[in-house]
Amino acid sequence: MSRTVRLPRTSRAPAGPGTLAALTAAAALVLTACGTGTGSGGSGGGSDTLTEIDYYDAAPQNTQLPAILDECGKQVGVTIKHQQVPRAQFLPKLLQQASARSLPDLALVDNPDLQQLAATGGLVSLSKAGLSTAGLYPSIVQAGQYQGQTYGIAPGVNGLALYYNTDMFKAAGLTPPKTWDELTADARKLTHGSRYGVAFSAIGTEEGAFQFEPFFWTAGADLKKLDSPQAEQALTLWQKLVSAGSASKSVVTWTQADVNDQFGAGNAAMMVNGPWQLPTLDANKKLHFGIVPIPVPNAAAKPVTPLGGETWTVGHSNAAREAKAVKVVKCLLGHDESAKWSKDAGYIPSNQQAAAQLAHSDPQMAAFVQEIGTAKARTTELGTGYPKVSQALADAIQAALAGGTSPASALSQAQRTAQN
Amino acid sequence: MSTTLHHAGARPAGPGADRPPKPRPRTAGPARARLAALAFTAPAWLYVAGFYLYPLAGSVRMGFQNYTVSSFYTGVAPYVGWANYRAVLHDSHFVRTVTNTLLFTAGSLLFQFCVGLALAVFFNRAFPLGGPLRSLLLVPWLLPLVVSGTAWRWILDTDSGVLNHALLGAHLIGHPVPWLASTHDSLIAVTLVNIWVGIPFNMVILYGGLQSIPRELYEAAALDGANAWRRFRHITLPLLRPVTAVVLTLGLIYTVKVFDVIMILTQGGPAGSSQTLTTFAYNLSFQQLEFGRGAAVGNLLVLVAVVFAAVYLRATREQRRAGR
Amino acid sequence: MLFPLYWLLNASLLPSTDLVKSSPTWLPVHGTLQGYRRALSSQGGHLLVSLGVSAGTVLLVLLIAVPAAYGLAKLRAPGGRPLTFALLIAQMIPGVVMANSFYTAANHLRLLNSPLALVLADSTLCVPFATLILQTAMRGVPAELSEAAVLDGAGRIRTLLSVVLPVSRNAVVTASLFSFLFAWADFLFAVTLTTQDDRAPVTVGIYRFIGAHLSDWNSVMATGIIASLPAAVLLVVAQRYVAAGVTSGAVKD
């Protein structure tokens, strides 16, 4: 999953007097690099206890993951100390740990961040450690690589698809849209009273960019050139949905979790979202919904969605610990464990065969599995340059949707920023 | 460093040393008196050096470095001179960010102060339930911002927000206002919430100031036939001036670096329309991973602080002179 | 002013499904106390941690700020202006700048997850403020009072403890209270310096609670209300002193 967090998970400063939030206001990140040198981190000690960090602080994943970890720890004969930090704190925390030379033994890292972290030199090469990626989707293997070495392997992956409310579609006599034109038309027809036709997240972070990329890529655009006519086409689609009133103006403030809330409450007839929302949606008994692939510009096109999902990494410590951590990763990626994780957390197994089985047995997952075959890792085109471009793209989306800027000029601005 | 601080703090100068043999303190020798005085402030000096200057030095250094993600691990970051500052100044968001910071700060300060003063004046007269009500007004200050910020997000929501419902109901607006979702309104919305959070601070301090104005002055003025407004203009405002200086200076310093209100409500968006220097620095560092540029913006902010601090000191110095 | 508070209270009582409804629910007629039950059971330990850390912060801040303020206000310590200047600037240093270097330091000193590290970090929020407030208040203490004490043969420390401090009691209470509240409300340092959930103060507790109960907003709002209660009680009790303390030196009467 990309960003499932609901609140802008920011560094929270205190609710001090007025804004005596004062000194904790987080602005520039400065890590006086004095942590380097002495390896006094938590990873310097013995090898009976391993440290682990992830950002699954939400139910149900926040209890499922530790359970699987404990199980694997038991098999390998180590205790695993887990730590779950909110998504927005995750990268800052890892960087702090990197600078203190105390990277955790195991970290579950979002795949677009993997190359950045691998570039620090703090991660153990998993290919050298003898872990195989055979049988996994090539795109996720690629996302885990940096300079020809594998540093991260995903137990499961995800993508985006179109959820639709079957009751509303039935009442309106519609079938789920396959093309952009159908999407626009259906959304307009389904907009009624306080209900919007479609919901998506256009928040000004990577999360918004992640949601836009299926449209962006399916149109044939390229992250290296944000101001192409294809990109403009995709952004125009989103802009029209909002300006026609088929999507709420609030999309620019919604996270994917907010979008899910809106859909669950019946405030939207369709939404763009990922499979990790399924546990929550399935629990809502009053809601009836179906899932289809993201609509495409014309009937002949195939959707290209961004590949979501986290990869397991091993931080450098000493030979004994690294060996044990690698063993734990091996266990986590094992058939049973990754199948269990996928099932509980709403993920698609990264093993192609297992995914095909899942698509067969679980119709809800079929649309997602179908898309994963053509899904694209976000760092494929740009590598470590991705975060900057994604931010520029998110800005352009917001400028077009909330600021009345034309898609063309918003995108050309973004292209200039990305090159700065 | 922290342990030495403790010792230094606990034992400022030997107690016996500064006890003069004869009760003539002023002749105890200026050098020794200065030394003793220094001993009292020494812990604070050490504290400033260890807890503020050291991190600040790191930030200043980082502002001149090309600091990447891998620098965190390797500690290696090439020096690039003023390149980060140049990049920031040429950033397409920079001008807007500075303007936003100014508007946000000025708007927050003005309204926090005015409403805070009005409430302080209001509560300065004793009336039934005044105490509990005043206490209730302090709650915004104590609530964790994650919580109150979220409540505000609901209130300001375009479609289901209670504010738009009320305004539509009163026929003050024709269409729902996208408070947080439009580039035109988002800055107003975050300023509004920040004012709400900041009013209690202003109220508490100003109320304290009002309480210490002698009642007789008002009584005398009332006898002279001055009406309420004149009493406010000619007694309250002048006598409140020193407190006003404190409130506004502290308010200014804190408002310039407000971070969480904005991050929770809009994350600086949409499209940077509610971005201020602090959120800009954060985004540069953590969204774009341009740590050097983030540090550069942070340093600019500290520079602004230096200017304000100088102004404050000048103001209080005059005040101190006037007081003597 | 009060409406958002009402709205929060309302939200803490409403079932979560009502919160995303397209029209607002004005009164929690179908209210539920479930949010409070859930919040109370999960945040007790965090409240205790917060209490300890906040109290420790108050102590440390007073230990540094009281002598400094005395030295600045009454003894005319050399370098007083630069120190005041430095303290003012210190208030403006962005929090993350400090948080990261504290993390590194705490890691070296093996103080991560220790309340001591949090006390040290949180104190940076309050030392400048406390020093300034105390300094203003002490300047207002009539010179004759302290001189009389010195004439009686009291040393500077005795003078400070038995004459100056009692007279500026209000400012001491104010500085302590504000320090307590800052430490209580601190989030950034708390989230940086604690890695274990059971050592985390209440702000981090709430934050994680929100993460874990995404669709459970009434619990979240209830947690917020519970977490602000201790601070609110303290503030109400001490408010009399605060009003007088902040301004005792600034307003001459």
B:11-70 residues touching chain C, CB 8 A cutoff: 12-13, 15-16, 18-19, 23, 25, 33-34, 36-41, 43-45, 47-48, 51-56, 58-59
**pLDDT average, residue stretch B195-224:** 84
| pLDDT-above-90 percentage for chain B | 20
CA angle B235, B236, B240 (to 5 degrees): 120
**pLDDT average, residue stretch B95-105:** 94
Residue C99: which pLDDT band, with cuts at 50, 70 and 90?
Answer: confident
Whether C251 has a pLDDT exceeding 50, the answer reads: no
Strands A106-110 and A49-54 turn out to be parallel
Whether B67 has a pLDDT exceeding 90, the answer reads: no
**pLDDT average, residue stretch C164-175:** 81
Question: Residue A89: what residue type?
Answer: Q
All chains having 3 or more CB pairs closer than 8 angstroms to chain C: A, B
Strand partners, A165: A289
Strands A289-292 and A79-84 turn out to be unpaired
**pLDDT average, residue stretch A276-293:** 91
E strands, chain C, are none
- Nearest residue in chain A measured CA to CA from B61: A32
* Percent of residues in chain A assigned helix, strand, coil, to nearest 5: 50, 15, 35
Q: Is there a contact between A96 and C185 if contact means CB atoms under 8 Å apart?
A: no
- Nearest residue in chain C measured CA to CA from A261: C20
- Nearest residue in chain B measured CA to CA from A194: B159
CB of A242 within 8 A of CB of B178?
A: no
Most confident of A161-170, B167-176, B311-320: A161-170
Interface residue B227 vs chain C (CB under 8 A): no
What torsion do the CA atoms of B272, A26, C2, C241 make, to the nearest 10 degrees?
-150
Summary count for chain C: helices (H), strands (E): 12, 0
Q: Is there a contact between A17 and C181 if contact means CB atoms under 8 Å apart?
A: yes
Query: Counting Cβ atoms within 10 Å, is residue A287 exposed (0-12), middle (13-18) or buried (19+)?
Result: middle
A:226-255 residues touching chain C, CB 8 A cutoff: none
On average, the pLDDT of chain C sits at 77
Interface residue A242 vs chain B (CB under 8 A): no
Chain B partners within 8 Å of A401 (Cβ): 270
Gyration radius from chain C CA atoms: 22
For residue range A322-338, what is the model confidence (pLDDT) as tens digits?
A: 999 999 999 999 888 88
| pLDDT (0 to 100) of residue B9 | 33
Residues 6+ apart with CB under 8 A from B116: B198, B199, B200, B201, B202, B203, B205, B206, B247
Q: How many CB atoms lie within 10 A of CB A267?
A: 20
Residue A259: which pLDDT band, with cuts at 50, 70 and 90?
Answer: very high
Chain C partners within 8 Å of B48 (Cβ): 83, 86-87, 90
CB of B281 within 8 A of CB of B294?
A: yes
**pLDDT average, residue stretch B158-178:** 87
Output DSSP code: residue A164: E
Residue B125 to residue B207: CA distance in whole angstroms? 11
CB of C70 within 8 A of CB of C166?
A: no
| pLDDT (0 to 100) of residue A39 | 34
Q: Which of A417, A412, A3 is nearest to A202 (CA)?
A: A3
Interface residue A313 vs chain B (CB under 8 A): no
Interface residue A413 vs chain B (CB under 8 A): yes
* Polymer length in residues for chain C: 253
Q: A361-370, B298-307, C22-31 — which is least confidently predicted?
A: C22-31
Task: State phi, psi for A348 to the nearest 5 degrees.
Answer: -100, 130
Which of C43, C93, C101 has the most B C-beta neighbours within 10 Å, making it the best mutation to test the interface with B? C93
Tell me the CA end-to-end span of chain B in Å, nearest whole number: 39
A:123-162 residues touching chain C, CB 8 A cutoff: none
Strand partners, A106: A52, A314
| pLDDT (0 to 100) of residue A21 | 27
- Nearest residue in chain C measured CA to CA from A36: C104
| pLDDT (0 to 100) of residue C18 | 65
Packed helices C80-90 and B30-47: angle between N→C axes, nearest 10 degrees:
10
- Nearest residue in chain A measured CA to CA from B298: A28
Whether A6 has a pLDDT exceeding 60, the answer reads: no
| pLDDT (0 to 100) of residue A208 | 94
Q: How many CB atoms lie within 10 A of CB A389?
A: 22
Whether A302 has a pLDDT exceeding 80, the answer reads: yes
**pLDDT average, residue stretch C11-35:** 68
Residues 6+ apart with CB under 8 A from A103: A41, A43, A94, A97, A122, A123, A315, A316, A317, B73
Following DSSP, what letter does each residue of C149-189 receive, concatenated?
HHHTT--HHHHIIIIIHHHTHHHHHHHHHHHHHHHHH--HH
For residue range A111-155, what is the model confidence (pLDDT) as tens digits?
A: 998 998 898 889 999 999 999 899 899 989 999 999 999 999 999
Residue A281 to residue A268: CA distance in whole angstroms? 14
Whether A35 has a pLDDT exceeding 50, the answer reads: no
Chain B partners within 8 Å of C236 (Cβ): 135, 138
CA distance to B13, B303, C147, C155, per residue, from B20 (Å):
14, 45, 13, 8
Residue C79: which pLDDT band, with cuts at 50, 70 and 90?
Answer: confident
**pLDDT average, residue stretch A178-187:** 96
Nearest by CB to C101, from B58, B213, B281: name it. Answer: B58
CA angle C37, C39, C42 (to 5 degrees): 110
**pLDDT average, residue stretch C209-216:** 63
Q: Which of B286, B96, B114 is nearest to B187 (CA)?
A: B96
Residue C253 to residue C250: CA distance in whole angstroms? 10
Q: A77-86, A88-97, A112-121, A206-215 — which is least confidently predicted?
A: A88-97
On average, the pLDDT of chain B sits at 81
Whether the model pTM is above 0.85:
no
Residue A196 to residue A263: CA distance in whole angstroms? 9
Select the more confidently predicted residue: B38 or C155.
Answer: B38
All chains having 3 or more CB pairs closer than 8 angstroms to chain A: B, C
- Coil/strand/helix, residue A4: coil
| pLDDT (0 to 100) of residue A397 | 96
Q: Is there a contact between A83 and C195 if contact means CB atoms under 8 Å apart?
A: yes
| pLDDT-above-90 percentage for chain A | 55
